[in-house]
Structure 1
Amino acid sequence: MTEKAAFADHVQRDEPHGASGTAQKLNWLRAGVLGANDGIVSVAAVVVGVAGATANLGAIATAGAAAVLGGAVSMALGEYVSVYTQKDAEHDMIAREKRELAEDPDGELEELTALYQERGLSRETAEAVAQELTAKDALRAHLTMELNLDEDDIVSPWHAAWASFFAFLVGAILPMLAILLPPPELRIGVTAVATLVALGLTGALGAKLGGGSPTKAAIRVVIGGALALLVTYLVGAFLGTSVGV
């Protein structure tokens, strides 16, 4: 196999399902971690706030259950709308590329050649690679090089919605157990400690998956979570005292 043919074969086989596929999986995993993070902090804030107002376990459990269900549904709907918008955009880009290939195949071939030249290939090699890939699958070749997009790998809004829903539920389990299981005098303390430890872990993991600093991310989310718990507790304690909740 010649160098040109080998390069063309490598591009055709590996690019759409290689680095981009791995990156997409990491993005989904990171989104799941962040969804769990949201479930932890939002539900913890609600139950700590209610516990600050009343020691009634039924009231705390009811508020917590409402926060869990409402938060999970909200996360799912938000993710569905966001990913559906992305899906529409990707379909629009594919349709536009198909139209351009039909209307100006020579111009599109020249464009593909130029893109390979920008990657460091000589004009002769770039032309040969572009011609070979165009002969095999012109649309796929252009989507890969121009848009880093695979026609067979379009995101699913339903998958994203369910993933967010369950990620939130998984995160929400911890503060619910932490507030409901201990004796009354330990509820708020146990929930606060469990929540901050979990936030530190999920924050660090999310940053690692995203290529950031785990330590800095953990510190940020722990500080943010601590502030959320403090504010909701103070509000709950104030309301419990002032209006006799």
Structure 2
Amino acid sequence: MEDAESQQPMLQKGPPSHRERHFTAGEVVRDVIMGVSDGLTVPFALAAGLSGASAPSSLVLTAGLAEVAAGAISMGLGGYLAAQSEADHYKREMKREQEEIIAVPDTEAAEIGDIMAEYGLEPHEYGPVVEGLRRNPQAWLEFMMRFELGLEKPDPRRALQSAFTIALSYVIGGLVPLLPYMFISTVQDAMFTSVGVTLFALLFFGYIKGRFTGNRPFLSAIQTTIIGAVASAAAYGMAKAVQAR
């Protein structure tokens, strides 16, 4: 009797409190990475190339700022069009799936069973789920979009947010290699300072990118820095080669 009474509270206890923490800003991080990565690399390579051609600091700065403005607009527009294309694709697929649910409901219901079977469920286990979804067309449609087509409903504000995030990130990244040219009049000194500042920024950004994307942070930092260094070195060498002719 005592054992039964002692076990009763344990049976009545609910599951232990569990607070899941998931990172849900993946799309924003992707946009930031895209914008900052290109912003650090392209103006850096442009400034190095112009410096290799012995252009004055004022010209390097002017050309660099023009490139940052144009690049931010171009990258932002690209992000907007990409996000808008995803939204349009989702709408087209949703309309097609909705028509199929109406025209061939038995076939679509069988597809629910096929999806459930892939998770190891038996017909007698997923049968009630199939019937429940058939009674709720909207839930049925959302289920098919997610589990059959692998499509998540896009945020209607996603296109504008993506454009703004990428453009702003590009501007922030692009100003880093240009800062020395704002304060140092000698182009060679400004270039060497820009190289040091930008390589440090690439290392830091690569490390942070690795932390957010789940890759090895130090490897990500080295890879990002090498890409930026190679791009700037190529632009600098090309400018020197052209100037020598």
TM-score, normalization: structure 2?
0.80
User: Paired residue for 2:83?
Assistant: 83
Decide which moves more: 119-128 or 212-221: 212-221
CA distance in 2, matches of 1:48, 1:220: 20
- Local SS of the residue matching 1:59: helix
User: Paired residue for 1:218?
Assistant: 221
User: Paired residue for 2:28?
Assistant: 28
Call closer, same or farther: CA 1:109–1:32 in 2, change over 3 Å: same
- Local SS of the residue matching 1:149: coil
Gaps of 5+ in 1: 1-17
User: Paired residue for 2:8?
Assistant: none
Matches within 5 A, 1:170-189: 170-182=172-184, 184=186, 185-189=188-192
Native 8 Å contact 1:45 1:232 kept in 2: yes
CA distance in 2, matches of 1:130, 1:211: 37
CA distance in 1, matches of 2:36, 2:154: 29
User: Paired residue for 2:143?
Assistant: 141
Q: Which amino acid aligns with 1:103?
A: A
Call closer, same or farther: CA 1:100–1:37 in 2, change over 3 Å: same
Q: Which has the larger radius of gyration?
A: 2
CA distance in 2, matches of 1:52, 1:98: 60
TM-score, normalization: structure 1?
0.80
Matches within 5 A, 1:150-229: 150-151=152-153, 153=155, 156-182=158-184, 184=186, 185-229=188-232
Gaps of 5+ in 2: 1-20
CA offset at residue 52 of structure 1? 2.5
Decide which moves more: 181-190 or 65-74: 181-190
Decide which moves more: 59-68 or 142-151: 142-151
Cα RMSD over matched residues?
2.5
- Local SS of the residue matching 1:120: coil
CA offset at residue 106 of structure 1? 1.9
Call closer, same or farther: CA 1:31–1:195 in 2, change over 3 Å: same
How many residues in Structure 1 have an aligned counterpart in Structure 2?
Answer: 222
CA distance in 2, matches of 1:102, 1:178: 64
- Local SS of the residue matching 2:151: coil
CA distance in 1, matches of 2:134, 2:218: 47
